[in-house]
Structure 1
């Protein structure tokens, strides 16, 4: 019975948060459309830099990683909206356990993040004739990257003190992490002091994982996915700690 009650509470939270996400689809739709425009517009540049076949793959993975990092705002807003409405502490005080709250918040957003990546990849396969040498590994990469984004976005959602602070962190952080990962220009063309910093960005490991899956390099993809999972666990630990303690209380907005 105890397990059944947990499942019922978590399912109710999943349905509620899915409804909230679908009521305001604007941010999600923009994160689905913008990477497709990026791929179309930037394809000639990537083809010139990498060659025809490699350029098609790199523009798809680059657009996917950059706009999925910008989609961290979708994750953070799922939590921060509760704080903005002054319902976050009520949720923490409800019979729902921290793990159930995390599941209820995570499942809808995880689906949205995975959907974004699948749309971009299908676009590349259908219109750019992108070759996928390891489809199974690519599916694992989508899951690992989605979990890493979920952990990062949720952690920022509970740490940020205001909506403006959170928006600045997502926008500035998303662009900087994308640039540092080598999404906008190849790492080989960056200044020498920048290249060693690239592994700091989760986007760097996402690019390695996606490019490895497309090229059939399973070992490189597995190593990169392990780092992404570590990022996801670290983010989840921050959120869980804030749920258990009093530090997750929102500032008065």
Structure 2
């Protein structure tokens, strides 16, 4: 498992494109949209927009790590790595954990960098740092758990890109990351509450402003952890079929 983790981590650190998608593009979008939506506003209105956009785009862009996860698993499958590992004592659980944990590290770093950028540049409040930190860990587990399931189910990398875009952008729209949920049609508001983006974004905003109650934190945490756990279980169950498609 440690060897798989090390190889995967080195491979990602050498991927310059990952730095662009993970850090540069989210910062560009954050700056651009804050500039657009705060033009002509001051005081509380401007602060409200910033407190919504910074965690909103943080939550949206962390989902794109699923693309990298998908291509990594497909590369292992097509180059015979999975088949060779299957002939060793390494268990499917250890293989999946070894592939999973590097992306947890990457997503955690991404969240820290984007929120730190928001703090330094826009002085966003962080009134409940402990709850915010726990939410960052829980969101990381949720997204990478989903990524595991998708990575083992997709037949091609392009399919992974398409599914990730639907999940990331569709969830961002319905989850209230682009505009306040209360401004959307009633049907969209109801559907939005079934997205992980809605629960993560709302909890992040409340923790930043110091209004996140422990009961609301537990609800958001339960929803996000449940999604992540279901993703990992799906990955374990579908691993045999993934192995069958692997080249020797």
The verdict on a shared fold, with TM-score over 0.5 as the criterion, is yes
2-side partners of 1:97 and 1:29: how far apart?
A: 34
2:234: which partner in 1? 238
Whether 1:33 and 2:24 are equivalent positions in the alignment is yes
2-side partners of 1:93 and 1:164: how far apart?
A: 29
2:11: which partner in 1? 20
Give the TM-score, by structure 2 length.
Answer: 0.90
Distance 1:23 1:175, change over 3 A: same
1-side partners of 2:173 and 2:87: how far apart?
A: 41
How big is the shift at 1:224?
0.6
Query: Aligned ranges for residues 74-223 of structure 1 at < 5 Å?
Result: 74-216=68-210, 217-219=212-214, 220-223=216-219
2-side partners of 1:239 and 1:86: how far apart?
A: 19
- Aligned-residue Cα RMSD (Å) equals 2.0
2-side partners of 1:130 and 1:20: how far apart?
A: 34
How big is the shift at 1:100?
1.2
Is the 2:80–2:246 Cα contact (8 Å) retained in structure 1? no
Is the 2:175–2:197 Cα contact (8 Å) retained in structure 1? yes
1-side partners of 2:151 and 2:66: how far apart?
A: 9
1-side partners of 2:96 and 2:79: how far apart?
A: 18
2-side partners of 1:68 and 1:187: how far apart?
A: 20
Of structures 1 and 2, the one scoring higher in RCO (CA 8 A, sep 6+) is 2
Distance 1:34 1:104, change over 3 A: same
Is the 1:39–1:59 Cα contact (8 Å) retained in structure 2? yes
Is the 1:32–1:116 Cα contact (8 Å) retained in structure 2? yes
Please give the secondary structure, in 2, of the residue aligned with 1:200: coil
Number of residue equivalences: 242
Distance 1:113 1:20, change over 3 A: same
Question: Which ranges in structure 1 are unaligned for 5 or more consecutive residues?
Answer: 1-9
2-side partners of 1:248 and 1:177: how far apart?
A: 30
**CA offsets 1:28-49 (integer angstroms, 9 cap, x no match):** 4322111111111111455459
1-side partners of 2:175 and 2:89: how far apart?
A: 42
2-side partners of 1:46 and 1:142: how far apart?
A: 26
Is the 2:66–2:151 Cα contact (8 Å) retained in structure 1? no
Give the TM-score, by structure 1 length.
Answer: 0.89
Moved more, 38-47 or 135-144: 38-47
Is the 2:126–2:207 Cα contact (8 Å) retained in structure 1? yes
Whether 1:249 and 2:244 are equivalent positions in the alignment is yes
2-side partners of 1:69 and 1:175: how far apart?
A: 9
2-side partners of 1:213 and 1:26: how far apart?
A: 31
